[in-house]
């Protein structure tokens, strides 16, 4: 928890974030420690401030945020939706931070979950965002992988890679091609 909290607070301070959104709050291990005056946390089971799915939240949300942390359902399908929805309600100059992007073994990557430490297949988002034009994306080698995305304008075009069917062996073979 320490690394992601330190990263989020460093970004919040750097950009003087006014509004923070967290997707997937669990027991508020991160949410309670992020320094920002206006915070919304969305979780269907516990933690945060809104008890709902991220899909439902984004349908009705009208707020714009400066900093968004995504640590929700650990599937590529869901992080892809959460990222795109977050991008649309992120102010230009704001950041999206994503957790669990570096599974260490196929057990941690496997969907559905079969191990205690579970990253799922959210790592695939890094291949869509790596070296894209007009925005900045880096993957930090800490805390099971933190993806840091900076929005530089209101248009988004991700890499055109058919990543959805790729598995852990693809990740393992191509990991060091990412912008680390």
Q: State pLDDT tens for residues 22-59.
A: 999 999 999 999 999 999 999 999 999 999 999 999 99
By C-alpha distance, which of 105, 134, 136 is closest to 123?
105
* Contact call for residues 11 and 17 (beta carbons, < 8 A): yes
- Residue 3: pLDDT above 90? yes
Query: Quick check: 1 pLDDT over 90?
Result: no
Give ∠ CA 129-52-115 in degrees, rounded to 5: 60
Task: Pick the closest to residue 70 from 103, 36, 109, 30 (CA basis).
Answer: 30
For residue 110, how far is the Cα from the chain centroid?
18
pLDDT band at 177 (very low <50, low <70, confident <90, very high): confident
Over range 128-148, report the average pLDDT: 94
Q: Please tell me the distance from the alpha carbon of residue 112 to that of residue 15, in angstroms, as a whole number.
A: 37
82 pLDDT above the threshold of 80: yes
Give yes or no for residue 7 having a pLDDT over 70.
yes
Q: What percent of the chain has pLDDT over 70?
A: 99
Q: Nearest to residue 127, comparing CAs of 119, 139, 118?
A: 139
Degrees (nearest 5) of the Cα angle 75, 5, 30?
Answer: 60
């Amino acid at each position: 928890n320490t690394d992601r909290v330190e990263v989020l607070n460093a970004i919040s301070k750097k950009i003087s974030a006014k509004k923070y959104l967290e997707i997937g709050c669990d027991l508020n291990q991160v949410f309670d420690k992020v320094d920002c005056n206006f915070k919304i946390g969305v979780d269907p089971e516990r933690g945060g401030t809104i008890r709902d799915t991220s899909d439902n939240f984004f349908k009705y949300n009208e707020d714009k945020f400066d900093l968004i942390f995504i640590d929700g359902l650990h599937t590529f399908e869901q992080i892809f939706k959460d990222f795109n929805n977050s991008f649309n309600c992120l102010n230009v100059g704001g950041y999206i931070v994503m957790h669990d992007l570096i599974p260490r073994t196929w057990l941690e990557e496997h969907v559905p979950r079969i191990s205690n430490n579970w990253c799922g297949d959210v790592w695939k988002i890094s291949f869509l965002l790596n070296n894209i034009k007009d925005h900045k994306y880096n993957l930090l080698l800490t805390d099971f992988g933190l993806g840091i995305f900076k929005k530089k304008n209101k248009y988004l075009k991700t890499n055109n890679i058919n990543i959805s069917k790729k598995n852990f062996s693809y990740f393992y073979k191509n990991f060091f091609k990412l912008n680390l």
